[in-house]
Structure 1
Amino acid sequence: MTSKKTKSNVFITLCSLIFIVFFVGSVSVRAGNNEDKAPSRISDVEKEELERSYNATMAARLAEVEEALSRHAVDDPEEIASMLELSVKNSTERRKLGYFSCGTGNPIDDCWRCDRNWHKNRKRLADCGIGFGRNAIGGRDGRFYVVTDSRDDDPVNPRPGTLRHAVIQDKPLWIVFKRHMVITLKQELIVNSFKTIDGRGANVHIANGGCITVQFVTNVIIHGLHIHDCKRTGNAMVRSSPSHYGWRTVADGDAISIFGSSHIWVDHNSLSNCADGLVDAVMGSTAITISNNYFTHHNEVILLGHSDSYVRDKQMQATIAYNHFGEGLIQRMPRCRHGYFHVVNNDYTHWEMYAIGGSAAPTINSQGNRYLAPANRFAKEVTKRLDADHGRWKGWHWRSEGDLMLNGAYFTPSGAGASASYARASSLGAKSSSMVASITSGAGVLGCTRGHPC
């Protein structure tokens, strides 16, 4: 066991490294601001060079911090997690310091978050997608619909101005919220094609009732919502379009259920504590990106693939990128069947059983993630094969490239190392795992206010 003196020295060293990160960032930004005030404005090329230099320095310093943490991770993983959080908090303060400091290495956020007029340019978000769901345009080509009423009195005849009335419309819509609200749904919310639900600028909770169902539709974006405490609902009539309503059997109580749908993007949501899964994608769904979300306090987090016998899920391609898998999680981050899954640049700080699991020979491509194993010495393995012995799963294509393993975490690969299968499980270029802290620092719902960058 490490002595108190050794821990103290480690902490002093870490604080010094963190101070260097912050100091270098401040000096770089001040230099950038001085250039901006000079009679001759800095050129675009010079801006790019400054940003590249700055980001490289930040990444190197964060790597030093994380290396020091890794050396001492076995002693106290909770202390390490809190130190990592402190280093992230200090390093991300740079976003407030200058015009080129907004870049984080997260290509989604860097596409739109620096714009102080984001509320006037909301639909720009639709052009910022990455991964297999990058072509999801949601309601980009439609009008804005402003939700003014948090009630959900009648799932068959929803009031105009409610979220349910908005999502069932046949035409494309970009749905926003007039004010903060908590929406408790009597029944599951059935979303029609070409819809964006955009919670930016309001604190919107979908909680304590039914939650979101995306069934047999296409082009849906769900962004900026708190979704939690979802309940099982059903055995009731529910409207799915202006011209159709029908009997719904019991819904499982997922936060977001994707069923037989394509071109779906779930981004910057905070999800926790639901009756079943937080995000489930099943029954032939594909072209999915799950990004920038903050997952906490849940057992079975993400399910991708309906069952081992449902072979239509062999077409599924899903990207899991830039998410933070946080406190109170147990398993399925994700749990995959049959298809092709790109798990890239996520931050795993908590799990109790395993992080990534699968059955029915899925292809899993893990790149540039940070895995911090729990204290339990029997739960250090990132991966878990289910319903198969070694003789069967040894041919499954699972690989780890550039992942950072902390506190004894380890990934068990299988299959041919250079299999062509990974071409179908590759959806974007992975960043270095040393950048994960910066890339995921804004995971979950953002506190966006008008006139300021998010």
Structure 2
Amino acid sequence: MKLSNVCILLICHLTSFIPFITETTAFNLTLPHQHPDPEAVAEDVKRRVNASLSRRNLLSIQEKDQCQTGNPIDDCWRGDPNWANNLQRLADCAIGFGQGTLGGRGGQIYVVTDSSDHNPANPTPGTLRYAVIQDQPLWIIFSSDMVIKLKHELIFNSYKTIDGRGANVHITGNGCITLQHVTHIIIHNIHVHHCKPSGNTNIASSPTHVGRRGESDGDGISISGSQKIWIDHCSLSYCTDGLIDAILGSTAITISNNHFTHHNEVMLLGHNDKYTLDSGMQVTIAFNHFGVGLVQRMPRCRRGYIHVVNNDFTAWEMYAIGGSASPTINSQGNRYTAPADDNAKEVTKRVDTNEEEWAGWNWRTDEDMLVNGAFFVPSGAGLSEQYSKASSVEPRSARLITELTMNAGVFGDPRDDSGGISNPGFSGDGTGTVTPTTGTQGTGASGGDGDYFGMIFGSGSSLPQPPTSISLIFLSLLIILDLSIITNNGALLSFPLLSLFK
């Protein structure tokens, strides 16, 4: 065999494996909307906080009370006295990894007028379920105060905003909010609570698709295989599983200005320790108030890069931040107030891992305020003084946490440490054309409770799996055979397999 023919053979073999190599690289290294430089995103959050606080310092006392809190998200839209006439301005205000989340921006304003949830497979126009499954972008608002008691999971389509400003909106019942394989979702200013498992039924996920749904796990908000998600100013409590869980390759998420209370396992980020796709998970957790009755997982992280910045942790029973499988945890400018229990003073917990393994994990604390004996155990790069010195923007001290988190949760809600603020209200119609809706005010029917969860929707979707080693072995064998041909000057070796090339 001539050398040119050998080269052609080798190139053909390698070319046939380009899709495989690309898939392998993508699986281990990238997700849609994953940021290539997470440290730059963390620095940008600090810059935005510093800029808002600097503006606040320049204002009079009256101006500060009316608008500028130092919280860059709230100051972005609430400083406009006509914000209610431009509801979609909110989409410009996300920070962190969820920055750029569009939600329903550019779409019509859809008004929910009917609180019922009678038929998840064929939702009634005017209901929230009917709105969230539509194919086009929608900015969803509410005609009045309402309690939406779900019969089953509320499955979202992409490019949706739920905007509860101006109404007192509660989502509760069976399944609650499910974001699965979607992008660009904003959930703002709603209560989510008392969510229970349900399923084994048909549920619509678009106007044209109804699929069989296994049992949900009872999360308040379940994020699975989804990107560009922003959850802001919500109040969450009393759910069966997590209040917010993000798993299975979700990334580009910001969880901000929320109020968490009365729950055990608050927030899970990452499917399991072996699910390597979650290495690309990037989540910003900012300006949240972790209030009374919480036990653990604020959050509990597997893999990924988690930026925990300017939150107020008022108590926990076990720990505040936990993790496994070497996540990067960047804790900056938080206030951690430990419980009275002397055995629960540590903020951090490495789950089911010995110190030899976790000593190299990058967990760091920067300008955090540790109260009532709380202590944070850093590791890896977090132990190096050079890290904080190299930081280009000095973080604001946690002494400003009260100002930054004073409005956490749904506007107007009472807080466990204060009376809250007045509801901002609105009188405008937004920027789009209001979609005519019909329906009557009602209460959704209650379904049965479940006890376990299945996350696969009826469309037959399945979890991405790592490539098998068989393909790698076959590729290696082909390369070895080609090299053998070259080194033997074209003389074929006496392997039976080579008879295929004769």
For normalisation by structure 1, the TM-score amounts to 0.76
Report if aligned partners of 2:365, 2:382 keep a CA contact under 8 Å in 1.
no
Offset, 1:102: 2.1
Question: In the alignment, which of 334, 349, 358 is matched to residue 369 of structure 1?
Answer: 334
Q: Deviations over 1:415-454 (max 9, x none)?
A: 02488xx99xx9x9843211110000000001221269xx
Offset, 1:240: 0.2
**Does residue 449 of structure 2 align to residue 449 of structure 1?**
no
Number of matched pairs: 361
2:195 counterpart SS class: coil
Report if aligned partners of 1:210, 1:232 keep a CA contact under 8 Å in 2.
yes
Q: Deviations over 1:262-295 (max 9, x none)?
A: 0000000000000100000000000000000000
Question: In the alignment, which of 163, 171, 176 is matched to residue 198 of structure 1?
Answer: 163
Report if aligned partners of 1:301, 1:329 keep a CA contact under 8 Å in 2.
yes
Q: Distance in 2 between matches of 1:298 and 1:248?
A: 26
Question: In the alignment, which of 287, 293, 316 is matched to residue 281 of structure 2?
Answer: 316
Q: Distance in 2 between matches of 1:370 and 1:332?
A: 16
Offset, 1:209: 2.6
Q: Distance in 2 between matches of 1:449 and 1:100?
A: 17
Report the residue type matching 1:450 in the other structure.
Answer: F
What residue in structure 2 maps to residue 4 of structure 1?
none
Q: Distance in 1 between matches of 2:360 and 2:410?
A: 39
What residue in structure 1 maps to residue 368 of structure 2?
403
Report the residue type matching 1:375 in the other structure.
Answer: A
**Does residue 298 of structure 2 align to residue 293 of structure 1?**
no
1:381 counterpart SS class: coil
Report if aligned partners of 2:230, 2:253 keep a CA contact under 8 Å in 1.
yes
Question: In the alignment, which of 416, 431, 435 is matched to residue 381 of structure 2?
Answer: 416
Report the residue type matching 1:216 in the other structure.
Answer: H
2:68 counterpart SS class: coil
Q: Distance in 1 between matches of 2:396 and 2:261?
A: 24
What residue in structure 2 maps to residue 124 of structure 1?
89
Question: In the alignment, which of 57, 60, 66 is matched to residue 52 of structure 1?
Answer: 57
Instruction: Flag the 1:429–1:157 CA change in 2: closer, same or farther, 3 A.
Output: farther
Q: Distance in 1 between matches of 2:289 and 2:159?
A: 27
For normalisation by structure 2, the TM-score amounts to 0.69
Report if aligned partners of 1:344, 1:430 keep a CA contact under 8 Å in 2.
no
Report if aligned partners of 1:322, 1:439 keep a CA contact under 8 Å in 2.
yes
Report if aligned partners of 1:286, 1:315 keep a CA contact under 8 Å in 2.
yes
Q: Distance in 1 between matches of 2:206 and 2:164?
A: 22
Report the residue type matching 1:372 in the other structure.
Answer: T
2:381 counterpart SS class: coil
Report if aligned partners of 1:184, 1:210 keep a CA contact under 8 Å in 2.
no
Query: Greater relative contact order (Cα 8 A, min sep 6): structure 1 or 2?
Result: 2
The 5 Å alignment of 1:51-200 reads: 51-53=56-58, 97-98=62-63, 102-200=67-165
2:150 counterpart SS class: coil
Question: In the alignment, which of 222, 225, 232 is matched to residue 187 of structure 2?
Answer: 222
Report the residue type matching 1:187 in the other structure.
Answer: H
**Does residue 175 of structure 2 align to residue 210 of structure 1?**
yes
Offset, 1:50: 7.8
Question: In the alignment, which of 187, 197, 201 is matched to residue 236 of structure 1?
Answer: 201
1:192 counterpart SS class: coil
What residue in structure 1 maps to residue 32 of structure 2?
none
1:449 counterpart SS class: coil
Offset, 1:103: 1.2
What residue in structure 2 maps to residue 279 of structure 1?
244
Report if aligned partners of 2:55, 2:70 keep a CA contact under 8 Å in 1.
no
Percent of aligned positions that are identical: 62
1:350 counterpart SS class: coil
2:104 counterpart SS class: coil
Report if aligned partners of 2:190, 2:233 keep a CA contact under 8 Å in 1.
yes
Report the residue type matching 2:186 in the other structure.
Answer: I
RMSD: 2.2
Report if aligned partners of 2:364, 2:381 keep a CA contact under 8 Å in 1.
no
2:89 counterpart SS class: helix
Q: Distance in 1 between matches of 2:262 and 2:103?
A: 29
Q: Distance in 2 between matches of 1:330 and 1:264?
A: 25
1:358 counterpart SS class: strand
The 5 Å alignment of 1:261-280 reads: 261-280=226-245
Structure label with greater radius of gyration: 2
Q: Gaps (5+ residues) in structure 2?
A: 1-52, 412-422, 429-502
Offset, 1:371: 0.5
Report if aligned partners of 2:56, 2:64 keep a CA contact under 8 Å in 1.
no
Q: Distance in 2 between matches of 1:437 and 1:254?
A: 29
What residue in structure 1 maps to residue 493 of structure 2?
none
Q: Distance in 1 between matches of 2:328 and 2:214?
A: 33
Report if aligned partners of 2:296, 2:320 keep a CA contact under 8 Å in 1.
yes
Report if aligned partners of 1:132, 1:317 keep a CA contact under 8 Å in 2.
yes
Q: Distance in 2 between matches of 1:353 and 1:126?
A: 36
Q: Distance in 1 between matches of 2:426 and 2:109?
A: 17
Offset, 1:208: 2.7
2:252 counterpart SS class: strand
What residue in structure 2 maps to residue 434 of structure 1?
399
Q: Gaps (5+ residues) in structure 1?
A: 1-47, 56-93
Q: Deviations over 1:340-381 (max 9, x none)?
A: 000000000011000000000000000000000000000000
Q: Deviations over 1:300-352 (max 9, x none)?
A: 00000000011100000000000000000000000000100000000000110
Report the residue type matching 1:184 in the other structure.
Answer: K
Report if aligned partners of 1:210, 1:253 keep a CA contact under 8 Å in 2.
yes
Report if aligned partners of 1:370, 1:404 keep a CA contact under 8 Å in 2.
yes
**Does residue 303 of structure 2 align to residue 338 of structure 1?**
yes
Q: Distance in 1 between matches of 2:56 and 2:233?
A: 25
Report if aligned partners of 2:162, 2:187 keep a CA contact under 8 Å in 1.
yes
Q: Distance in 1 between matches of 2:248 and 2:54?
A: 47
Q: Deviations over 1:87-140 (max 9, x none)?
A: xxxxxxx6xx33785211110001011223222110000000000001111000
**Does residue 271 of structure 2 align to residue 306 of structure 1?**
yes
